[in-house]
Structure 1
């Protein structure tokens, strides 16, 4: 309990300092992410900061914030609540727990424009936000499944590593993977469809914890020495390069022979290094910088009452060993 309170206190202090640092004349465009400890979200931060650098003196400031830890769902909801109380011009949220965030928005009934980025609300709550900017997460899962099918056309055992249980974007990716491998829609679990089966103990939920993600991989490889494939629908384990290298060292011979295949989400620098080193076979990358850079302009349009597309996808990059030096969008 004390740790949770400390995290909330840290996040609240950072939020106050960030709002106070903005020009008194500027209206605040807030981007709230799942956690400041995740390097994926730091790319969104960079996009936000580039927007600030290019739009000085134009009356708006992009504010990047979130809880200290990516597994602090309550902390993220509290930050959004605090922002609504303190007053911002508009907000772009990446909800860690989609139902919990929706409940807050239903309770607060904000009058400012609310959009989502990176992760969306669940379909039944979509009316609570004006727009979504980010990845087509189902398609991301489909592309992961397609790459796995190419490498393992006869199927096999596959373990999916997911993030937070209530994160809509992660659930959509998992659905895309399963549907593609099964050749059918709305597959809750792989139980032999097209030769694919999820072993006992899978899927895994990391709660966005990098250390837990690596430990889960180690435990899964130990418990399933003949596992055919491991799919990280997000890049958690790979965000700690040394730990991930130690995990994959134990199965390096199987990775080289493609007896065991690893497919992973995201294409941050340490992940691309892992791909080039043969520690994964495909990386399906999102474009988080673009999310942070484009969100402020969408928020301004919403403030001004301009029409915007409700769904705006930022695209995907498929990176393989043979195109690793040229696969990323410039």
Structure 2
């Protein structure tokens, strides 16, 4: 694991050294994501690149980096550690393991602005960063629950698919989902509230691994043929369209009749195609491109000592089969 982390950190430094001509002398605004293997984060990269193209004369350059694998929590921490050592003007972090990343920032106590993007620190560590830019994750869970309840007014059996155990953003969505279904804050598990019950063996944790996410879905469908709802709190399984199609082929009749429903997070192109094919019923999407595009400006404002709101929410898109062609923000 340490070897992988070191390779990831080396890649980050290499990215800075191999910046376009003239960029080497610019001050670095670093965006560190959970993993470069996740297409969701590539949208953040595209936003970073757009900002770069629109601000060629800026004294700052936007650096996007992260470990090769989203499962490499230690690698992400190491990359941030190495960037702080090398020296950057500001840093925006999407922590995979929020407590571990918070511990690093406490230990290093950097004198540059630190913000979070996409995923936040745990409550106790939020004083370590200046602001959070991204989704209102609790609200995202609320919206997923509202759609599930509309599709299944009487409730039913449900399995939630989560990411890393310590991912604050994913846990916030799960809390929003459960609290909304139960009608009560602080609901740890659905045991009949609102007619909904989480099945044994769930939630399942993907550790942000796409192949594992699809296998978990397939295993759940086989073990629980009467399942009423599967909730992808994040879109992992759908990031591999062919594998996801094979998994949902198992239950297409049930999906078409809404005997079983799938509500999923995110609205990337393959996910929207899955929705249009009836392989999900609702996609509640974040706006990662906007996160990457806005992050450099926010970091510059922090460097300049300007007042920056906390948090900075980027909004949600709620897509159903009926609205699939018009639901995404332009």
User: 1:287 — aligned with what?
Assistant: 287
Q: CA deviation at 1:230?
A: 0.2
1:272 aligns with 2:272: yes
Secondary structure of the structure 2 residue equivalent to 1:215: helix
CA deviations 1:52-92 (Å, max 9, x no partner) are 11111211000000000001110000000000000000000
Name the structure 1 match of 2:137: 137
Point out 4+ residue stretches in structure 1 off by more than 6 angstroms.
none
Identify the residue that residue 255 of structure 1 maps to in structure 2: 255
Which runs of 5 or more residues in structure 2 are unaligned? none
Q: Which moved more, 1:249-258 or 1:4-13?
A: 4-13
Contact 1:33–1:76 under 8 Å retained in 2: yes
CA distance in 1, matches of 2:312, 2:214: 33
Counterpart mapping for 1:85-100 below 5 A: 85-100=85-100
Q: Distance in 2 between matches of 1:6 and 1:109?
A: 25
**Contact 2:32–2:91, Cα closer than 8 Å, also in 1:** yes
Partner secondary structure for residue 138 of structure 1: helix
* 3-state SS in 1 of match to 2:63: strand
Q: Secondary structure of the residue that 2:147 maps to in structure 1? A: helix
DSSP 3-state at the match of 1:112? coil
What per-residue deviation string (whole Å, max 9, x for no partner) do you get for residues 79-122 of structure 1? Answer: 00000000000000000001000000010000000000000001
Rounded to whole Å, the distance in 2 between the matches of 1:279 and 1:192 is 27
TM-score (norm 1): 0.98
- Indicate conservation of the 8 Å contact 1:33/1:95, yes or no: yes
| Aligned twin of 2:8 | 11
Please list, as runs of the form range in 1=range in 2, the aligned pairs for 1:105-254 lying within 5 A after superposition: 105-254=105-254
Q: What do the CA deviations read for 1:206-256 (whole angstroms, capped 9, x no partner)?
A: 000000000000000011000000000100000000000000000000000
> Deviations along 1:174-230, whole A, 9 cap, x unmatched?
001101111111100000111110010000000000000000000000110000000
- Asked whether the equivalents of residues 70 and 209 of structure 1 are also in contact (C-alpha less than 8 Å), the reply is yes
Question: How far is 1:5 from its partner?
Answer: 4.3
SS of alignment partner, residue 24 of structure 2: coil
> How does the TM-score come out when normalised to structure 2?
0.98
Number of aligned residue pairs: 327
Cα distance in 2 for partners of 1:152, 1:184 equals 19
3-state DSSP class of the match of 1:61? strand
Shift of 1:46: 0.2
The answer to whether the 8 Å contact 2:6/2:75 transfers is no
Residue 14 of structure 1 deviates from its aligned partner by: 1.6
Distance in 2, matches of 1:103 and 1:154, equals 44
Q: Which runs of 5+ in 1 are unaligned?
A: none
- Aligned CA-pair RMSD: 0.8
Post-superposition offset of 1:161? 0.1
Deviation at 1:13, TM superposition (A): 2.7
1:6 Cα deviation after fit: 4.6
Q: Residue 7 of structure 1 contacts residue 69 of structure 1 at CA under 8 Å; is this kept in 2?
A: no
Q: Tell me what 1:37 maps to.
A: 37
| Alpha-carbon offset, residue 25 of structure 1 | 2.4
Please list the CA deviations of residues 284-330 of structure 1 after superposition, one character each: whole Å capped at 9, or x if unmatched.
00000000000000000100111100110000000000010000000
1:53 is matched with which residue?
53
Q: Note the alpha carbon deviations across 1:136-162, whole angstroms, 9 max, x for none.
A: 000000000000000000010000000
1: distance between equivalents of 2:179 and 2:9? 41
Q: What SS is found at the alignment partner of 2:127?
A: helix
Report what 1:24 is aligned to. Answer: 24
